[in-house]
Amino acid sequence: MSLSVPFSISVADLVSPRSLGGMKVLVAMSGGVDSSVAAAELKAKGHDVVGVTMRLWGGESDTGCCSVSDVDDARRVAQQLGIDHLVFNFSDDFDTHVVEPYVDAHVHGLTPNPCIECNRHLKFDRLSERARQLGFDAVATGHHARLESDDSGKLRVHRGADVAKDQSYVVYMIDESELDYTLFPVGHMTKAEVRERAIELGLRTATKPDSQDVCFISKTGGRETFLGKRIPFRPAQVVTQDGHVAGSVQAIELVTIGQRRGIGIPGGQPKQYVVDVDTESARIVIGDEADLYCESQFVDRVTWAYSSDIERLSSTPDVLVQSSAHGTPHPAVIRLASDGTIEVKWVERQRRIAPGQSVVFYDVTNSYVLGGGIACAHSRS
């Protein structure tokens, strides 16, 4: 099949896609069941659907969503649905915005989330930009999140219908410039319903397992092998909070806050956890589990769904805060700190968040995303 669309921005870009019938939608198809059904649902509703698979990682891959077989699955599903399928090569962007920062983060003792950075820079930036250039009215993905209006009529990223598969956390960076251009066709479905729909349609991805791993980290080599080919590992001392040397590790770059195993201390002792990683002094500080808990957490690189949310939260700052993809959200009060970061003050002390991880703010009803950012290295005990 061939694609024939004008390489220009259409008039439809100036109108909310939800007010149009028969939209021209570009669907990001990863080769998984969710994006396959997303494309099918949009076509069933009468939209002009084109599938696209982003070629991102050109190196060794036996996990994630960047393998040759995934591209082939996406292409074959498009054939089954009778829609055009494209492949966009964004490998340079992926290296620049995902792989290189991932490596650099480990050098500086951070724990990055490359899948979130891929969403930020590729799916909801680079792909959206290309879609607009090609005259599409919207970009759709297979994320389990919903786009609905709040009480004031503003479009928001709401949690997906399937609590166990909710992915609102990993798309927190979508702001007002992209909300009206984005569609999540399977967000109102449970995972079981998605698979049932795929089986009904006879899609080849119907029983395909979910991708759980970082696409550029192979199962055979793992993170240690990947990083070891790109940076020199540095040994580090493992010390208690009073400075006593308890052991050592060969690679400080592989250690993260909260880690308990593989931190170079003898067995048969009370459980010890990493409470600080100091790459400058090559020291890893350990402590009891209680030492992981803190009163507040600082967050930088914050993005908001709407800029007006900052003003509203300055007067009513109560939020729920989530620090992992399927973690429990906890109540907190947030405020703008003097250095421009956001201070999250927990209502009840919480475990330290590993610097580099995403911290996402939800409204007090725990329904929709307000914004989010990246955990800083400093927190208040």
The 10 Å CB-count burial string (b at 16+, else e) for 240-265 is: eeeeeebebbebbbbbbbebeeebbb
Residue 107 and residue 254: Cα distance in Å, rounded? Answer: 9
Query: What's phi and psi for 193, nearest 5 deg?
Result: -65, -35
Task: Sort 204 into a burial class: Cβ within 10 Å, 0-12 / 13-18 / 19+.
Answer: middle
The active-site residue, picked from 66, 215, 294, 376, is: 215
Residue 305 and residue 176: Cα distance in Å, rounded? Answer: 6
376 is catalytic: no
The active-site residue, picked from 65, 66, 115, 118, is: 118
118 is catalytic: yes
Residues marked as catalytic:
118, 215
